[in-house]
Structure 1
Amino acid sequence: MFGFKEAGIVGINKRNLDFVLAHNRRKFYPNADSKLKTKEIALSLGLNVPDLFANIRYQYEVKQFEDIVQPYDKFVVKPDRGSGGDGILVIIEKVMAGYKKASGNIMSRQETRYHLQNMLSGMYSLGGHDDTIVIERMVEFDPIFDEIAYQGVPDIRLIVLEGKVLMGMLRLPSKASDGKANLHTGGVGVGIDMDTGITTTAIQRNRYIDVHPETNKPLTGRQIPYWKDMLDMATKMQKASGLGYIGVDIVLDKNKGPMILEINARPGISIQIANQCGLLSRV
């Protein structure tokens, strides 16, 4: 195990004071906190994003959900101002009993409506305020990740500070994370060498692992495609957002290539553990 102090590890308090508060003006927070606003920014830059199917803003519209998703076999439902992957539904199939999630569990139509009502009421949102439901196309991830992803869609998290990409991590869904790539829900994080785009060390629940818990395939030594393009996309999003310090999440679609998924004005710090390196050493 590497030494935290020697590696320049940034804790939550230091992140908040020296990175978030020092570089992010509050008036620009909505650009990151709203997934719909982030889509607008990315599209204005000519960057790809997952297709937006619909959004639901009012409780009475929840009863229209089945009609809204009727044309689509697979889709993702998320709170517009959610964080950490909370509340997100990754639906891979519609079945007689309801909707099949990436984990294989079935949500009944009644359970789904209740979940959507909670989403609108702000249960999964920053500050607990009323929210909007975003329904978008499920990304068909690049087959290069077939061996090391479980059901859901992997993404690449890049940390950007004032035009410089400091650190990167491949985030992989697992059975524990219910098909989502978020680390705090049980997803797998894999550090990435910034020069080459090749994966290095991997963690799950802050413990180092060598293989994916479901596929049992090695996680390290894998080349991330479009690596230089992703770095360029991340710096463009940081500058356009008005925020100085952000996390940029990029997904790799097998047909459309890299796509901006969302940005985060308060990115988590586990990326340092996955890379065995602190953010301070990269500044």
Structure 2
Amino acid sequence: MNWISPLRLRRAGILSMNRRNVGYIGRYNERASYPLVDNKLKTKLIAAEFDVPTPHLLQVVTQQHEISHFRELVDELGGFAIKPAKGSGGKGITVITRRKGDDYVKASGAAVSLETLERHLSNILAGLYSLGGTPDVAIVESLVKPNAKLAKYSYQGVPDIRIVVFQGYPVMAMLRLATTDSDGKANLHQGAVGVGLDIGTGQSLNAVQFNKAIRLHPDTGLTLANIAIDNWRDMLEMASRCYEATGLGYMGVDLVVDAEQGPLLLELNARPGLAIQMANGEGLLPRLKAIESLKRFHRSPEARVAYAMEMFARPIQQA
């Protein structure tokens, strides 16, 4: 990647990691609120109180002897997801899409045995995937069935939408699409595609992979222009309500569109990455400063979303 001068980055309004950490995460995120987002189980419980739907919780495995109940549970299920409550960056998440005889087929197409899944649960409890390696609990959730309109753009993985929320205002968003490089995960650092989304309309803008601009998905070959997200305002309002739920001033809200249930919250992130700026072709700083300069904040999620959709919409390009 070519070197870019700090002056050019500042002029582009790019938020740097140091400035994000000190000026936004450190300043606006109370430490007491971190457990609500660093623990997926706590996130699910608090989200329910603020009318933010999440995938259905099937089982919580807290001790080794409870793994036997998992065997009974999944015997009747075709698909499900196993997640470490305190995992980060998608580590430790196993998604099962269907059964194949006595085996279970992962999103990547690989088949695993029930014994393999039980060992995975044991590893989660031991803290193999948790922040700091501390003992953890395992969550078993219903399988998200991605909306077909979006799923066709992703490769062996569920597409999700990351929305950066500042002081309750959605300021920037992107669609994340899995690829072969990302091993079916929507993680840009691992090679997923990031597609910038217009806050005003939910329409796709730019697309990047490994911080380089692309026009087509590397695996599906589909063009990434003219993607439109349905129920866009509803998704922004869901993300905005997470501010009241957690009290975090600066966070990433990850949503997915289920074919049957509509938008669902996957997880919250108190330290969202900065690659969203590359996907949007625009820096976060001007938008963050616009919120900071408000003389009076809008009290309701609906009002904050209405302001953001008008304030941060991309100008319509003239033909």
With the shorter chain as reference, the TM-score category is over 0.9
Match in the other structure for 2:287 = 282
For 2:107, the aligned partner's letter is A
CA RMSD across the alignment: 1.7
Match in the other structure for 2:108 = 103
Is the counterpart of residue 24 in structure 1 residue 29 in structure 2? yes
Structure 1 unpaired stretches of 5+: none
Contact 1:84 1:184 in 2 (8 A): no
Contact 2:168 2:242 in 1 (8 A): no
Deviation track 1:236-280 (CA, whole Å, cap 9, x = no partner) reads: 111221111111111111221111111111111111111111111
For 1:26, the aligned partner's letter is R
Larger radius of gyration: 2
Match in the other structure for 1:132 = 137
For 2:163, the aligned partner's letter is L
| Matched position secondary structure for 1:165 | strand
Matches for 1:195-214 after TM superposition, within 5 Å: 195-214=200-219
Structure 2 unpaired stretches of 5+: 289-319
Match in the other structure for 1:56 = 61
Contact 2:166 2:249 in 1 (8 A): yes
| Mapped partners of 1:101, 1:184: distance in 2 | 21
Contact 2:147 2:257 in 1 (8 A): yes
Closer/same/farther in 2, CA of residues 267 and 221 from structure 1, 3 Å limit: same
Match in the other structure for 1:119 = 124
Match in the other structure for 2:177 = 172
Deviation track 1:70-128 (CA, whole Å, cap 9, x = no partner) reads: 12101111111111111111111222463211111222334333322221111211121
Match in the other structure for 1:34 = 39
| Mapped partners of 1:175, 1:135: distance in 2 | 25
What is the TM-score with the length of structure 2 in the denominator? 0.84
For 2:91, the aligned partner's letter is D
| Matched position secondary structure for 2:205 | strand
Matches for 1:212-251 after TM superposition, within 5 Å: 212-251=217-256
Matches for 1:151-166 after TM superposition, within 5 Å: 151-166=156-171
Deviation at 1:6, TM superposition (A): 2.2
- Percent identity over the alignment is 45
| Mapped partners of 1:11, 1:133: distance in 2 | 34
| Matched position secondary structure for 1:169 | strand
Matches for 1:254-269 after TM superposition, within 5 Å: 254-269=259-274
| Mapped partners of 1:216, 1:9: distance in 2 | 30
What is the TM-score with the length of structure 1 in the denominator? 0.94
| Matched position secondary structure for 2:119 | helix
| Mapped partners of 2:170, 2:64: distance in 1 | 40
| Mapped partners of 1:249, 1:125: distance in 2 | 19
| Mapped partners of 2:17, 2:121: distance in 1 | 31
